[in-house]
Amino acid sequence: MKVTRLEETKKTMPNYQNNLEHLKDELGKLDLLIQVRIVAFRQAGQTPFPTDPTHMYISHEEVDQLLKPLPAWQGVRAASKDIQVSLERHQQELRKKVGHSLQQGIFLALPQLTHIFSLSPFEVEILLICLAPELDRKYDKLYAYLQDDITRKKPSVDLVLDLLCASEAERWEARSYFSPQSPLFRTGMLTFIEDVQSPSGSSDLARFLKLDARILNYLLGTNHVDAQLVNCSKLILPHSNTEAIFIDPSIQKNLLQFMQHHFSDQSKHRKKLVIHLHGSYGVGKKELAASLCKTLQIPLLILDLPLLLKAPAQIESQLKLAFREGLLQQAALFLEGIDPISDPQESHRLKYLAQAISQYGWLTFLAGEKAWVQQPGQFEGSLFQSIQLPLPDTSLRKAAWAHHLSPLNIEETHTWEEALANQFRLSPGQIRDAVQSMQAQKKRSKSNITCADLFKACREQSNQKLNEMARKITAHSDWNDIILPDAQLTQLKEICTQVKHRAQVFGVWGFEQKLSYGKGLSVLFSGPPGTGKTLAAEVIAHALGLDCYKIDLSGLVSKYIGETEKNLSKVFQEAETSNAILFFDEADALFGKRTEVSDAHDRYANIETSYLLQKMEEYEGIVILATNLRDNMDEAFTRRIRFIIEFPFPDIEQRLAIWKRHFPKQAPLSDDVDYDFLSRNVQVAGGNIKNIVLNAAFLAAENGQVIRMAHLIQGTKREYEKIGKLWDESRLGITKEKAR
């Protein structure tokens, strides 16, 4: 039979078949060390354990049995040398076999742990002493025997020093291995247990050593995530399926190249890598990290930081534990929800994080929604890269919709993808959530998902925070409800046309690349109060199926420098998910004329206006500025607005139409209501007409009657009083019959 080269090598280079075989051999070495100790005892004529047969004790014979072949009690002097020789030979063999095994790629936990935490040979021996009783109960007895007490089964510092040190000087030197800063204790691999039986408290030497449960499992070859972390972490192995990723491919490619280049440096001085990924919820931070790690064949340990922060007192130890786990798994660490830590006011938490990274980190992803301005020296010894993940463009969104809708097996979905992708600037995660939430709702009602359902689900996903900063206008009114001159109506309809074809003109036809600015759809509505500016925004929102938010600019402008920009930025950021129409009321608060810059705040106010203009231009949806005081608007700003629509005070015909439209079909209306009279004589804007009609309706309801002309005249009187308009019945041509 032909002997292969590999088999030949194996014969000449003995190795361990597996981790357990290696550990057994290590225990063989420990046995020899213990023998050396016992022999030394016996040579000195000491009995390490009370031999009073009335007490529970471990007899010499029992120990001799456990440590076969321990030299006979009488022959210890002669045997001492032999044991030393055997120990040295055993150690040499063991080292060789470990080397060969590692060369052949056999996993041996102890050498691997030694490598990961750069343990010294002495520290490895300490670990082994602590590990032994977990593998074989005989060590309980042996340790108790050596420590003169049947209850002292765990190894004490003293015992370890006895076993590993040949002289007093060595013992002194070795004490440093037991300091809290030494690797074994800093990493939590070993902990101290006080000797409870010592009434006066135990000395450092008398303290027992306990091996950490996670490290024990690791050494036994079980590499499950630490039990203390299971609830707040998730391990993604390189071969496991990762979520589909909808991120600009160039971001992914550049980051991968950067990482490959970084890790190609095998030198000791290679810096630790900290990658901060920031972007809106669901933009794909975790998916990106998982996909990069998969390509690099690295496991990824995901840590739920907000969950960890719920127990703030333990954050330091938990972070350490997580980073240690990362090393044990040889995994990159992904800390999600980093924003609360990046806050400079939380500097102590940041310090813990930086410490954990500097001690155990090698590849760390930090993920949050906010950008992070790194302070100098924040992550010393690390290379910090902050990368923004933008919301996906229309084509990536369409792909995300296709991906999440395909399992529904509904034929029409391919026509929905386009509409949904065009309408909502959702992140892939939000798209997934929208589909899933609708699926759950439909499962309960046992009906099929429609496109309208998905639109609704998208709205629920977006603008959640916008409701806190703005008032949502519920869009019920359509083109029939607004009365304006034809020119204004045409302009309003043009706005809608531009939104509808935005994706085609800017995207498909490539106009986006040609324009550096001016892509946003900015509109100015000007006109007296109550002439239909808000109504027009509502009609547009209704026609386009968009949400509309009304923001009072005078409330948003802050006297604190920089605050206005912050407020504005929040509004735009929140609105961009749904391309909601943003209706800024009282625009003159920001865009009012300033003849000259008179004080420092005026200068900042100018910065604020240019900031709003910039945001408006970047925004993909419609931004409407409304003002009652067109003349008060600065020309420099109005020039940059795409549509300017004047809302005139309604003329007699328009007022007639407005009066008529304000009575619902169901409302009981008397025959004496004279629309011509009202439109001719009551010269007020649509907003006032609305109020008068409502006043009249309530008066009629109170009197238990139909709505009569007298109610309308009474309502008009109230409205006049409210707005401070002169009420002169004879000038208004109100006869007694009408008023009765």
Site for ligand ATP contains 429 (CB under 6 A): no
Stretch that binds ligand ATP, among 351-359, 426-434, 482-490, 709-717 (CB under 6 A): 482-490
Give DSSP secondary structure letters for 31-58.
HHHHHHHHHHHHHTT--SS---TTS---
Given the complex with ligand ATP, which of 189 and 624 has the nearer CB atom?
A: 624
- Cβ at position 482, least distance to ligand ATP in Å: 5
Distance between CA atoms of residues 725 and 705, nearest Å: 28
For 736, residues 6+ apart whose C-beta sits below 8 A from its C-beta are none
CA distances from 528 to 400, 495, 533, 694 (A): 45, 21, 9, 21
Distance between CA atoms of residues 317 and 322, nearest Å: 9
Site for ligand ATP contains 529 (CB under 6 A): yes
Distance between CA atoms of residues 509 and 503, nearest Å: 9
Given the complex with ligand ATP, which of 326 and 530 has the nearer CB atom?
A: 530
Name the β-bridge partners of 630. none
Contact pick of 483, 557, 682, 709 for ligand ATP (by CB under 6 A): 483
DSSP conformational letter for 359: H
Site for ligand ATP contains 587 (CB under 6 A): no
DSSP conformational letter for 3: P
Q: Six-digit token pair at 231? A: 């609830």
Stretch that binds ligand ATP, among 93-101, 350-358, 481-489, 706-714 (CB under 6 A): 481-489
Site for ligand ATP contains 368 (CB under 6 A): no
Alpha helices in 648-685 (DSSP H): 652-661, 675-681
Residues 653-692 that bind ligand ATP (CB under 6 A): 658, 686-687, 690
- Cβ at position 587, least distance to ligand ATP in Å: 11
- Cβ at position 656, least distance to ligand ATP in Å: 11
Distance between CA atoms of residues 655 and 688, nearest Å: 11
Site for ligand ATP contains 482 (CB under 6 A): yes
Site for ligand ATP contains 532 (CB under 6 A): yes
Given the complex with ligand ATP, which of 124 and 657 has the nearer CB atom?
A: 657
Helices 428-445 & 394-405, crossing angle to 10 degrees? 30
- Cβ at position 650, least distance to ligand ATP in Å: 6
Helices 19-43 & 121-135, crossing angle to 10 degrees? 100
Long-range CB contact pairs, 614-620, < 8 A, 24+: 615/568, 615/569, 615/572, 616/520, 616/522, 617/517, 617/518, 617/519, 617/520, 617/522, 618/519, 618/520, 618/572, 619/520, 619/572, 619/575, 619/576, 619/582, 620/425, 620/502, 620/519, 620/520, 620/576, 620/579
Site for ligand ATP contains 555 (CB under 6 A): no
Closest residue to ligand ATP in the complex (CB): 686
Contact pick of 42, 272, 276, 533 for ligand ATP (by CB under 6 A): 533
- Cβ at position 466, least distance to ligand ATP in Å: 20
Given the complex with ligand ATP, which of 124 and 489 has the nearer CB atom?
A: 489
Stretch that binds ligand ATP, among 42-50, 191-199, 478-486, 606-614 (CB under 6 A): 478-486
Given the complex with ligand ATP, which of 532 and 715 has the nearer CB atom?
A: 532
Q: Residue 454: which H helix or E strand, with range? A: helix 451-461
Contact pick of 530, 548, 568, 590 for ligand ATP (by CB under 6 A): 530
Site for ligand ATP contains 531 (CB under 6 A): yes
Stretch that binds ligand ATP, among 318-326, 350-358, 450-458, 530-538 (CB under 6 A): 530-538
Q: Residue 367: which H helix or E strand, with range? A: strand 363-368
- Cβ at position 683, least distance to ligand ATP in Å: 14
Site for ligand ATP contains 535 (CB under 6 A): yes
Site for ligand ATP contains 550 (CB under 6 A): no
Distance between CA atoms of residues 107 and 431, nearest Å: 43
Distance between CA atoms of residues 527 and 386, nearest Å: 47
Site for ligand ATP contains 534 (CB under 6 A): yes
Applying CB under 6 A, the site for ligand ATP has a residue count of 17
Contact pick of 15, 101, 628, 695 for ligand ATP (by CB under 6 A): 628
| Residue numbers at the binding site for ligand ATP (CB under 6 A) | 482-484, 527, 529-535, 628, 647, 658, 686-687, 690
